[in-house]
Amino acid sequence: MSEQYRNYIDGEWTESETGETFESRNPADRNDLVGVFQQSGETDAERAVEAAAAATETWADTPAPERGAVLRKVAGKLDARKDELTETLVREEGKARPEAAGEVQRAIDIFAYYGAKASDLGGDVKSSSSRDTTLYTVDEPIGVAGLITPWNYPIAIPAWKIAPALATGTTVVFKPASLTPNIARKLVECLDEAGLADGALNLVTGPGSTVGKTLSTHDAVDAVSFTGSAAVGETVGDQAKETNKRVQLEMGGKNPVVVMDSADVDDAVDIAAGGAFGVTGQACTATSRAIVHEDCYDEFVAGVVEAAESITIGPGLDGADMGPQASQSELESTLEYVDVGIDEGATLETGGEEVDAGDGFFVEPTVFSGVEQDMRIAQEEIFGPVLSVIPVSSYGEAVSVANGVPYGLSASIVTQDLSEAHSFVEDSESGVVKINEKTTGLELHVPFGGMKDSSSETYREQGDAGLDFYTISKTVYLNY
């Protein structure tokens, strides 16, 4: 029988008061039981919040360089367990092994980065208009942060929320996605072993309807950071705002790659296919639409179909290029959108079928051509390996189509025209703009976030901006 794992509250591993549990299983092999986890309830979440609130003074009073040293120890412990964590991630979420290894390395790098940044925290000195006066600011931790994270990047996204929070002296209650609790547990193990103060970080597994809601509504929680779907994010945001919490929401995307007539088509195919089919299309920044100039449209479609059909599908532990969808519901949603695209009159060029590659949730990479802007497959987030190819006749039309969705997370243009490249930076309604690169992939030391329905447009994540959400500024006038 698989081991039953516990919550982490106030420095102790503890069972939930509900007495209930849930299972985590390998999406590539449903017979493979990853572990049994606590199906926590409101009382468990409240205990975690209370522990975090009680620890705020101790953790905030810990010198920032000392907090940074703890984070650097975390990076070292993650690095020492990299192979184990990579296999855990493949087994629990389904990524191909190279993708999982890259994500684990990202978590290592994030903790090392914020471990170093902690020593630079403080504030700014300004010139006063008065004599004999020193004018400066002090950045103080906001208090308690509730962090709600998704299953698709189940160690990288928690890392880029937890590390800056702890660096600033803010304490944390962390609710991971129920599809991927084991990699979250192992991350917290590393934090615990690094010498983190009791209560500074608390892990509670369980449903969003109870655990997540408690974090969004509890009076002792000062800030809520959420990454996930737009529908759930809107609910989390509404709940948090009722008690005047600081809110950070990063949500869905319908990300375009624009391919202009000057583009190298082979490069454009590689960029689009990598963004659309990497991580099984299960990324908020995944390429969902290819908006292609009519002069190279047919060549592009042929190329991206060939790229899709060359991908090997199967368990990541077996060395496949593309793993399964993360759950039965995710697979069913993707297959439903394939039916929608066919019904809307788009041409299914390749893919769209469930794949028999073991007892898992496998689907073929899918390409639709002849897609029109108002079709659902061109407007709604699919979160699977489905690419809709839309023909356009000019740069202006391409920009209009690219911006003509409710989302605005990541966008790319493939062009050899410098004027188009610079114009796209200004014209694109997205938080991340790329030139001749795929829409996925992020540097950790620069801000990340979206526009429109992709984001609350409040605070950015990662880089220096990632620290801002967890601090509040105090201005000091010192007349001597």
Question: What is the predicted pLDDT for the residue at 390?
Answer: 98
> In terms of C-beta distances under 8 Å and separation of at least 24 residues, what long-range contacts does 342-345 make, across chains too?
344/372, 344/375, 344/376, 344/377, 345/370, 345/372, 345/375
Q: Are residues 319 and 367 in the same domain?
A: yes
Tell whether the model's pLDDT for residue 267 goes beyond 80. yes
Percent with pLDDT over 70 in the chain: 100
Please tell me whether residues 232 and 367 are part of one structural domain. Answer: no
**Structure confidence by residue, pLDDT tens digits, 371-408:** 999 999 999 999 999 999 999 999 999 999 999 999 99
- Average pLDDT of span 317-340: 97
Total domain count for the chain? 2
Burial class (CB in 10 A: 0-12, 13-18, 19+), 31: exposed
Tokens of 41: 């309830």
Neighbours of 134 (CB within 10 A): 14
Q: What is the pLDDT of residue 1?
A: 53
Identify the pLDDT of residue 328: 96
55: pLDDT strictly greater than 90: yes
Q: Are 234 and 265 in a shared domain?
A: no
* For residue 10, pLDDT beyond 90: yes
Are 145 and 173 spatial neighbours (Cβ–Cβ below 8 Å)?
A: yes
Please state the rounded mean pLDDT for residues 251-278.
98
Antiparallel, parallel or unpaired: β 386-392 and 407-408? unpaired
Same-domain status, 278 and 313: yes
**Residues 6 or more apart whose Cβ sits within 8 Å of residue 123:** 136, 137, 138, 139, 473, 474
Give a yes or no: residue 447 inside a domain: no
What's phi and psi for 354, nearest 5 deg? Answer: -65, 145
Return the pLDDT at 402: 98
Closest CA to 377 of 351, 343, 412: 343
CATH number, domain with residue 129 = 3.40.605.10
> What's the pLDDT score for residue 305?
98
User: Residue 278 contacts by C-beta under 8 Å, 6 or more apart in sequence?
Assistant: 99, 286, 438, 440
In a domain, 243, yes or no: yes
Tokens 């934090």, residue?
A: 191
Average pLDDT over residues 41-59: 98
Q: Across residues 293-309, what is the average pLDDT?
A: 98
Average pLDDT over residues 235-261: 96
- The CATH number of the domain where 364 resides is what? 3.40.309.10
For the residues 299-303, what does the mean pLDDT come to?
98
CA-nearest of 439, 434, 431 to 457 is: 431
Residues 263 and 335 in one domain: yes
pLDDT at 85 > cutoff 60: yes
* For residues 344-364, average pLDDT: 95
The answer on 308 and 166 residing in a single domain is no
Rounded-to-integer distance, Cα 131 and Cα 478, Å: 11
- pLDDT at position 141 is 98
pLDDT tens for residues 101-158?
999 999 999 999 999 999 999 899 999 999 999 999 999 999 999 999 999 999 999 9
Q: Which residues contact residue 332 at a Cβ distance below 8 angstroms, ignoring those fewer than 6 apart?
A: none
Identify whether 445 is part of a domain: no
Average pLDDT rounded to a whole number, residues 411-428: 98
Write out the two tokens for 243.
């008690």
- CB 331, CB 323: distance < 8 Å: no
- Asked if 51 and 122 sit in the same domain, the reply is yes
Domain that holds residue 312: 255-435
Please give the pLDDT value at position 150: 97
* pLDDT at residue 358 is higher than 90: no
pLDDT score of 2 more than 90 = no
What value does the mean pLDDT take over residues 269-288? 98
One-character DSSP codes across 48-85: HHHHHHHHHHHHHHS-HHHHHHHHHHHHHHHHHTHHHH
Per the rule left: phi > 0, alpha: psi between -120 and 50, beta: everything else, 384 is beta
Quote the CA–CA distance of 96 and 321 in Å, as a whole number: 6
Task: Using the predicted structure, report yes or no on whether residue 71 has a pLDDT greater than 80.
Answer: yes
193 and 304 co-located in one domain: no
- For residue 233, pLDDT over 80 is answered with yes
In a domain, 444, yes or no: no
Mean pLDDT of the chain: 97
Give the pLDDT mean for 314-340. 97
Same structural domain for residues 11 and 27? yes
Q: What is the DSSP letter of 461?
A: B
Question: Considering the domain boundaries, does residue 310 fall inside one?
Answer: yes
Q: What would the pLDDT profile of 168-196 be if each residue is shown by its tens digit? A: 999 999 999 999 999 999 999 999 999 99
The letter for the amino acid at 199 is G
pTM (predicted TM-score): 0.96
Indicate whether 155 and 29 sit together in one domain: yes
Does position 369 have pLDDT exceeding 80, yes or no?
yes
**In whole angstroms, how far apart are CA 63 and each of 57, 67, 118?**
12, 6, 9
d(CA 271, CA 265): 10
Q: Which residues are catalytic?
A: 250
132 and 33 housed in the same domain? yes
| pLDDT mean over 24-30 | 96
Residues 217, 358 within the same domain: no
